[in-house]
Structure 1
Amino acid sequence: MRQSLTLIKAGLVLLVLLFSTATLSAQKNQVALRYIAPNYILGLGKVPTPLEGAETFGSGLEFEYQRRIAPNFLLGVPIRLSTGEALVNMEDASKDPVNPFTDVEELSVIGGNLLFIFEPIARSSVFDPQIFTGFGAFNDFDGNTTAELPIGVNLNLRLGNGFYLSPQASWRFAFGPDQDIRRNVQLGIGAHLQLNAEPVEPEPPAVVDSDGDGIEDSADQCPNQAGPVTTLGCPDTDGDGIADKDDKCPAIAGTSAYMGCPDTDGDGIADPDDGCPEQAGPESNNGCPVTDRDGDGVPDAEDKCPNEAGLLTLMGCPDFDGDGIADRDDDCPRVAGLAKMNGCPDTDGDGVTDRDDKCPKQAGPATNQGCPEITVEDQETIDFAIQNINFETASATLTAESRSVLDRVEDILRRYPGYMLAIGGHTDSVGSAESNQKLSNRRAESVYTYLVGKGIIAARMSYAGFGETMPIADNRYKDGREQNRRVTLDLSIR
């Protein structure tokens, strides 16, 4: 009890000291009265099994005085009196090691803190939040005093001039005896008052002459832009007697006949609307003199290609390939093409222009560079061939069955003229690496030679031997060596 009285005395002394400086600036003082609800169960590191009859939240009152010492920084002294239920950690050896909290006690406390309060955002007419931390202590009226470190937030919602609804939430670390069961969460709500808050000043009366041009706003057609009397207070940048707001050419002096714009060549057409403002011409020719430099019968003013003789239908531009698309808009001006292809031809009609089409005479999707995609059936034929091209033992001579297989490959190559074929020879690891390299090269060449003999253009094919360098199975086993002795066939677009 003596410790609690000491705490109360210290709090009262601090309140007196802070109030004693309040007369220096009443705006700096704020008070709050809140209903609070402490919770000592949530303050534990884990939530134990609730005990029958235990109340989660307690109740109490808190009075707080705050003193502003900087634009966004205050000191606060809250004093609180509250009750709540706390779990008791029994000390007998039979307690449950998982849930040692086996009893509940009624806890009444009086406490106080010194808080350091920060306002993270500029105060507004609606919201004035505060973040706080500090230090203090509380006494449970049984002679036990516990030090604490609170961290929390006040959400001050403005209800009137200097008057706020003040919800609060804080976490309070405890230090001292039973600190593990004295940590607590405290929620609160109440009223927050700024003492002697100054009312919002009314807006100053409107300035009689806002732009300072000597013309009262009531008579000024441009009250926020200085201007002469001749244009009723509106600016006249070019000094032609026509206010800028009514002047189509505010930076160039003109006449009222042309809404403030000049007519330099005197052809009756204002310069902004005159295609040739320094050369007189008829309105039918946009104010320009009628000229035709390239002699194609299209006036220069209308001729999109005034220096090249062209067609009237193409606004004076030439069309070399006669496809109805002017050369300047034609991506293929020397070869007749289609408008949808920007003047380029698409012989196979697959939507890919011939110049970008790897197979210009055989339709195919753009994703495959204009070439037909290998069908699943044809790819299966290629895969079958790879597995069934065989040679006489230790030689590069194709077996009769292999030649039959290659005849089917030859048919595929004829049906896909835009594709190249890469032939690769491979061996197992039996024998020397040098002999295997030579054998694989001869076998790849045998396939190449056979297909050339069947009429496939040699330039569409290439061959190479890789010896035993690229195995696809384990050479230690017979099955693995058989798989490694193979010829690969790779089709790709030229």
Structure 2
Amino acid sequence: MKKLTYLFFVIILVAFSQQNYSQFKDYGQKFGVRGSILFPENEFANFGFSGNNNTTFDWYKFSWLGEAFFGFELSKALELSINGGYGKYAGKAFFDDANTTFGEYETKIVPLHLRLRISPFDAQGWNPYLYIGAGAVSYTVSSKPTITGSKATEDEGWAALVPVGIGAEFALTDRVLLDFALGGAMTSTYDLDAYRSGSDDIWDSYFNASLGFSFVGENCDVDKDNDGLGKCLEQQIGTDPMNPDTDGDGLSDGDEYLNYKTNPLNKDTDSDGLSDYDEVKTYKTNPLLADTDGEGLNDGDEVLKHKTDPLKADTDNDGLNDNEEVMKYKTNPLKADTDGDGLKDGDEVMKHKTDPLKADTDGDRLNDGDEVTKHKTNPLNKDTDGGTVEDGVEVERGTDPLNAEDDVVKVGVPIILEGITFDVNKSTIKPESEAILMKALKTLQTYPEIEVEIGGHTDSDGSAKSNLKLSQARADAVKAWLVEKGIDAKRITTKGYGEDKPIADNKTKEGKAKNRRIEFTRIK
């Protein structure tokens, strides 16, 4: 039975011997004292009723053991202790199947052993454990029972000792623990009870109930707040060893000090307006650098005020960094084209020198984008061709903002409407003449006070009479087109000049083409 009991203890110990962590760990060293009540286990009945009829009640004879120990950690879950003690192993010498008492035995014992303790659980306020040990016990018999036929025993000597048991610690203060345990110990001697029967001898042993006090220290590696920093290091850097996040920024002191190199006493190490946690976990910015992207705005202002990307110097990819947009040019760092004129802010500032806050820098009624990309006019000069009419007016009326000659229609100065063509020897206007005619129409609409002459001219081919007639017909055809578009016929006169006013040599094909023309002349 006794062997089965010890086997049961060993099985429990092995089953639960796994690493764990609790507030009772990381103490470094420990010393303490414990007192135990012993319940001897040997050939005699040491407690309870004697005899088969239970007529006599024999009280237990008090046995005890006082011990002192010194322990230190092997790991978070294992403790090794050196134990020494002094006690009395005693009892009444009678057998269960007889009422006869043969006196008493009493033996002084001095056990010395190493004990391995396993703390398999993580509990608050208490620390359950298992233990097993090995050592030796010195014994001295001071009182023997008188039993006929008893074999000689050793009155003193040494024997092997194997203690095993379970227990729990309870925290009284930070440094003082109450220790309660139940267990037992087996020895390798038959002589603790001063009796050998010669048959069916069993090793003497005992069960015990123990109560003691432990006094613990803490080594420099103790980490009660589980933040990854030992006690001594936390004291050195000024963090709270009982608070895993001293500055309350969401990062543990260990992560700040060991991994991110931030200040665990300051939730915003770089003073950029973002907590270290936000920088590391949310925005991925550098918690040690106030301006991660190096464009001149601190990360906090970018995130909280301007809504720009603190990891990107030019959030809107317009060619200006966020700081230049916010502080220098006052443009929108989230919008590549602040004034909506079709040009990026960077191109306006760096390339075209236009105002990125003003869609029409020169105030000519054309936005900068249209001037640069469509009309090829100067967005910094409202009258690109210098002809006294603004670019916007010219575009609206259909004149060329790059040609000063068509800006103002002067009295008596003919304007050749190049591009108006007719069928051969006819006054039928060809469709491709539409664009030029529209410019003439636009001029008459823009200047409603003027009156004009439409003059027709031919080359020298054919007779002078037929050419005069043809030129008049062509001038009349142009007038008819303009009148059809809404121009008052009274504002237009026509005249055919035939071949009388050539502007080029009629001897060449090119010259003849130039002489076949329609002229637009202001007469009032």
TM range (shorter): 0.3 to 0.5
Larger radius of gyration: 2
TM-score (norm 2): 0.32
